[in-house]
Structure 1
């Protein structure tokens, strides 16, 4: 069902908030690679550790999400969130 909703969507973003499932990282990075989308990883998301290839991960997003032009570049057709809402206040600027 989710693939049907994303049909025709080109630009997306995966957001990972606090969560405790250490196994989830592999699946998230596989999805990011397949879809060629960036992953915003909260410090409590469990994604910043481990041996996964992290070429799509953005881990220091607090500083640049304060910049409106950069937020506009990241805004796409969809956002998929795993875990709880990220604890970063600048992350909320994406939804202004």
Structure 2
């Protein structure tokens, strides 16, 4: 029997998520705990964030997930839980 080590589930860092948000808002910098709504976020911004997350990670989140998790730190947790769940099914 051959031992195959478990592969770690891929993950997204808060810094990577913050870059996604910075790009979506077209601003110089956002922090990990900046609020989506306080930054002027709306449905099109949420769609841009969701689309970029899918490009980077393969995770398809509805734009509503951004509304429910309105900080880069919070949304990173959602993406990473989804990645872990997906990896666990492989």
Same fold, judged at TM 0.5 (above): no
For the pair shown, the structure with the greater C-alpha radius of gyration is 2
TM-score after normalising by structure 1:
0.25
